């Protein structure tokens, strides 16, 4: 996932300067390469990111750790992303945590379902790295000022 400049992540200094504390992000995607790439991008931008490759692992991490934002794929084999979203919302300390879908399965129906459930955003894969990071930053800033 490269931007048009040919650099992997572009200039991240603008994103870093808005951050005072490490923001914790949980990345849930069943494809290891995609999850690791997202964790890498988020770490390069100054976030503390963890990956879960299954719904079971995501729920375990979510119950024991506090996250400031969660990204979900729609197509998770052991529990689809929509059901996982609902289970995450049942965890008291995550009820207000922004959850956004990042998925290659971006049909209008899936996007609408995600938004109807209360997702903060829906990003289509493959995505532009700068757009991805900008949207993450926007959600973090919205949460910080709410």
pLDDT digits (tens, 9 = 90+) for 113-133: 999 999 999 999 999 999 999
- Separation in Å, CA 77 to CA 83, 98, 146: 11, 22, 34
pLDDT cut 90: percent of the chain above it:
78
pLDDT digits (tens, 9 = 90+) for 82-124: 999 999 999 999 999 999 999 998 899 999 999 999 999 999 9
With respect to residue 8, please indicate whether it lies within any of the assigned structural domains.
Answer: no
With respect to residue 82, please indicate whether it lies within any of the assigned structural domains.
Answer: yes
Residue 65: pLDDT band with limits 50, 70, 90: confident
The more confident residue out of 12 and 81 is 81
* DSSP structure string for 48-112: EEEEESSHHHHHHHHHHS--SEEEE-S--TTS-HHHHHHHHHTSGGGTTS-EEEEES---HHHHH
Number of domains in the chain: 1
With respect to residue 92, please indicate whether it lies within any of the assigned structural domains.
Answer: yes
> 140 by DSSP, 3-state: which?
helix
The more confident residue out of 7 and 61 is 61
Sheet with strand 69-72: strands edge to edge = 48-52, 24-28, 69-72, 99-103, 121-124
Asked if pLDDT for residue 18 goes beyond 80, the answer is: no
Asked whether 121 and 101 are in contact (CB, 8 A), the reply is yes
Q: Print the domain residue range for 114.
A: 21-145
Question: Quick one: pLDDT at residue 145?
Answer: 82
CATH number at 103 reads 3.40.50.2300
With respect to residue 3, please indicate whether it lies within any of the assigned structural domains.
Answer: no
Whole-number CA gyration radius for the chain: 14
With respect to residue 26, please indicate whether it lies within any of the assigned structural domains.
Answer: yes
């Amino acid at each position: 996932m490269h931007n048009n400049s040919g650099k992997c992540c572009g200039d991240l200094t603008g994103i870093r300067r808005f951050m005072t504390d490490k923001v914790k992000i949980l990345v849930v995607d069943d494809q290891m390469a995609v999850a690791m790439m997202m964790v890498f991008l988020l770490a390069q931008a100054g976030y503390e990111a963890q990956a879960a490759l299954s719904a079971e692992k995501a729920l375990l991490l979510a119950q024991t750790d506090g996250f400031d934002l969660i990204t979900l794929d729609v197509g998770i084999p052991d529990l689809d992303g929509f059901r996982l979203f609902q289970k995450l919302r049942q965890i008291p300390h995550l009820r207000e945590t922004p959850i956004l879908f990042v998925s290659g399965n971006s049909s209008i129906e899936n996007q609408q379902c995600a938004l109807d459930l209360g997702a903060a955003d829906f990003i289509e894969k493959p995505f532009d790295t700068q757009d991805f990071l900008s949207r993450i930053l926007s959600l973090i800033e919205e949460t910080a000022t709410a």
